[in-house]
Amino acid sequence: MHRLWAACQLWVQRLLMLAIVVAAFHPRAWDAERMLAAAQRHGPKALAGARALQGVLQAANDADDDAKLLALNQFFNRRIQSRDDSELWGQVDYWASPLEMLEKGAGDCEDFAIAKYFSLLALGMPVQKLRLVYVRAQMGGSGGPVQAHMVLAYYAAPNAEPLILDNLVTDVRPASRRTDLSPVFSFNSEGLWQGVGSQSAGDPAARLSRWREILVKARAEGFQ
């Protein structure tokens, strides 16, 4: 009996060591329990959306960057409808957290870009590869009206051509194929830039009050 107990203890210890090794090689930058608890407080649509999002995150955890971009871009573009802040929140400009947007089932361009940004960070993507970019977007082709818009840009390397994730376009395209977009400034959790240049223009949390609020809300929702 003593030998059997000792063997069981050794088996459990080996399982624990294996779990530690697996966790080290497959880091997860989101808190699943906190996300679901926060979603439940927001409402049933947020909870269903959070569960669906966690399924996508789990499935894409071991994928390459291109597959991660495609998975998250499709998830939010297909699940969320495009609506103005005035209609959704009764405000001219409101930056919703990912779970707030999932509860509404709708959002504007900032909300889409923010949700994709934090979801990609949750998959362990380095923050240096991602920027939220304010652009001037020419709507309806050449000669159409120009309006303020936000997209998410992905850089495979610091000087690489970025890939653009946009709620107005279903697929992920290189910036050279988005001639309808003119960058104004870009930012992420670590920096703020004029256009999409390499020279930092300051601390985004200090310059953008809404970004400070989103960082707090996203972390409270279980995102990195």
User: Dihedrals φ, ψ of 163, to 5°?
Assistant: -95, 140
Q: What is the pTM of this model?
A: 0.84
Decide which of 1 and 84 is more confident: 84
Residue 194's pLDDT is 82
**Quick check: 198 pLDDT over 70?**
no
The pairing of strands 130-138 and 146-154 is: antiparallel
Residue 202's pLDDT is 60
Q: Percent of the chain, pLDDT > 90?
A: 70
86-132 tens-digit pLDDT: 999 999 999 999 999 999 999 999 999 999 999 999 999 999 999 99
Q: Which of 91-95, 171-175, 191-195, 213-217 has the lowest mean pLDDT?
A: 191-195
**Quick check: 162 pLDDT over 50?**
yes
Q: What is the Cα–Cα distance from 159 to 190, expressed in whole angstroms?
A: 17
Q: How many CB atoms lie within 10 A of CB 36?
A: 17
Q: Residue 142, Cα to own-chain centre: how many angstroms?
A: 30
Q: Are 47 and 39 in contact (CB under 8 A)?
A: yes
Residue 200's pLDDT is 63
132-145 tens-digit pLDDT: 999 999 887 667 78
CB burial readout 181-190, b (16+ within 10 A) else e: bebebbbbbe
Decide which of 192 and 199 is more confident: 192
> Under 8 Å CB-to-CB from 19, ≥6 apart: which residues?
none
User: CATH top-level class for 29-220?
Assistant: alpha beta
Average pLDDT over residues 207-222: 89
